Chains A and B, each alone.
Chain A
């Protein structure tokens, strides 16, 4: 009887997995069928255009890379510093517990709320305008909860014995954290960062809210430039009536997916590299 229940559970679990994978596979094949023909060097290096056969993705790809790199630069130090405070310094205090609960809640807040915050805070109050900088700041806020949570998780995996060894050599708390704990936690921190950036790179709503443009004929050349990003460009093309733009949208999706996969691959590669450094 127990055996049969076990078998039934395995079958159900397997079936669920198959359904998920088949759906994903069908979507990818569908997009490939629509967009692969449109993918070319010309598509990657051309700017937006009214004529679908001339239009390219360059401005949006450049915009996405600008925004995501800046987002990472903001989110990493802020997120790691917050996590270090919560995990190493403030664990017992009431303030830390209050912050902790709020961070868990923030991770679940819809992204458009971050967009509204970004609009009020960065675009208006801090006068950044509809710039790459404002977009990156907004997405950094969005990425922060995940970076903080995964960094705390990574800090917790550093064995107590390593901290003790450092303290016993006359290291201060800060030296112990900086020279021993953070380097050991780094692979985990990196994984969390890339995961959160992967989420951020697909975001559309908060960037439209802060005023990223849906049509833009040039790529950003500084943090103050107006910009667009891949998902917004894709959304723009999908909403056009001409069938040729639908092909462009499908090709844009392929570019976005390739970028995401490249980021995840980089995360896996870097994590393995840093882990090996400790062992071999």
Chain B
């Protein structure tokens, strides 16, 4: 980026202007505007404004409890399931507020898929795990179509070759890394536009982690990916943009290379260099 690039986000600036810092590479997919989130009386997110861009990987980093996972879960309204939570502000997906009372949450989650920190396959066969989303959403009219979509999803998640001979075996017999890729395949099967990943590799060994990272790199051609990670090397490796969260606030959001080499905020620099957090 040259010197004419827009000013960087900072705590000292008004939250509404923070999003202006996003590098204008591709169209905006998700835009949060002054988003506050409460668990009961406790405020967990404070004025988050951010623009997440299409077909890029955006990483959320920050110490535990900084709100990055909570924010991720506001994007597909997964927090709705938790009682006594409350949202203020807006989250726009393709310009439409996902918290509008008329929004169909089920349809929203179909467009914004999610992969969780701990792999959570259903206690069913590998095939049924992937087929479930297709079935409940009525996305495959014939058995052949269902088979095709399941295979396609497993291929996209780079796990098909490993499981093609045992699609009817229980998913719980797979290794941790395979289970997580199966969960990714399951999320991809219903062809979402956005894929949210909440520390998808934190419970995996380095080799399984590497496979997930390679997968993320391939998937961004088709999907907009948002990934929460504790691992800063991982954020540096896989993401195009990085957002740094601290105590429920978005401290800085910029191109990943700038966050890691020349952050604008002292706090960001301290965190990415390991001096705090």
State the A residues within 8 Å of B (CB): 92, 159, 161-172, 175, 179-180, 184, 277-280
B98-124 CB contacts (< 8 Å) to partner A: 106-107, 109-110, 113-114, 116, 118, 120-124
Instruction: Known A163-B81, A278-B123; judge A172-B106 contact (CB<8 A).
Output: yes
The answer to whether B133 has its CB under 8 Å from any CB of chain A is: yes
Complex Cα gap A279–B123 (Å):
7
Residue in B closest to A171 when the chains form the complex, CB atoms: B136
Of the four ranges (under 10, 10 to 19, 20 to 34, 35 or more), the interface on chain B belongs to 20 to 34
Residue in A closest to B183 when the chains form the complex, CB atoms: A165
Residue in A closest to B108 when the chains form the complex, CB atoms: A170
Instruction: Known A175-B136, A179-B136, A279-B170; judge A167-B120 contact (CB<8 A).
Output: no
B215-245 CB contacts (< 8 Å) to partner A: none
Residue pair B122, A168 in contact (C-beta under 8 Å): no
Complex Cα gap A165–B81 (Å):
12
Residue pair A278, B170 in contact (C-beta under 8 Å): yes
Which B residues touch A92, using CB under 8 A? 83
Which B residues touch A180, using CB under 8 A? 122
Complex Cα gap A87–B120 (Å):
22
User: Total contacts A to B, CB within 8 angstroms?
Assistant: 71
Report the minimum CB–CB distance from A40 to chain B (whole Å): 47
Which A residues touch B8, using CB under 8 A? none
B126-156 CB contacts (< 8 Å) to partner A: 132-133, 136-137
Instruction: Known A175-B136, A279-B172; judge A168-B123 contact (CB<8 A).
Output: no
Residue pair A169, B170 in contact (C-beta under 8 Å): no
Residue pair A169, B136 in contact (C-beta under 8 Å): yes
State the B residues within 8 Å of A (CB): 76, 78, 81, 83, 106-107, 109-110, 113-114, 116, 118, 120-124, 132-133, 136-137, 170, 172-173, 183, 186-187, 190
Residue pair A168, B78 in contact (C-beta under 8 Å): yes
Contact of A161 among B109, B113, B120, B124 (CB under 8 A): B120
- Which residue of A163, A165, A170 has the most chain B CB atoms within 10 A of its CB atom? A170
Complex Cα gap A175–B78 (Å):
16
- Which residue of A92, A159, A166 has the most chain B CB atoms within 10 A of its CB atom? A166
Instruction: Known A179-B136, A180-B122, A279-B123; judge A167-B116 contact (CB<8 A).
Output: no
Complex Cα gap A184–B172 (Å):
14
Residue pair A168, B187 in contact (C-beta under 8 Å): yes
Would you list the 5 A-B pairs with minimal beta carbon distance, nearest first?
A278-B123, A170-B110, A169-B133, A161-B120, A168-B114
Which A residues touch B137, using CB under 8 A? 169-170
Complex Cα gap A141–B271 (Å):
62
Residue pair B116, A162 in contact (C-beta under 8 Å): no
Residue pair B120, A162 in contact (C-beta under 8 Å): yes
Residue pair B124, A278 in contact (C-beta under 8 Å): yes
Report the minimum CB–CB distance from B130 to chain A (whole Å): 10
Residue pair A164, B120 in contact (C-beta under 8 Å): yes
Which B residues touch A170, using CB under 8 A? 106-107, 109-110, 133, 136-137, 190
Residue pair B172, A278 in contact (C-beta under 8 Å): yes
Residue pair B123, A165 in contact (C-beta under 8 Å): no
Kindly list 8 other residue pairs between chains A and B, CB separation below 8 angstroms, not including A165-B120, A165-B186, A170-B109: A163-B81, A167-B109, A168-B76, A168-B114, A168-B116, A169-B110, A170-B106, A171-B106
Which B residues touch A168, using CB under 8 A? 76, 78, 109, 113-114, 116, 187
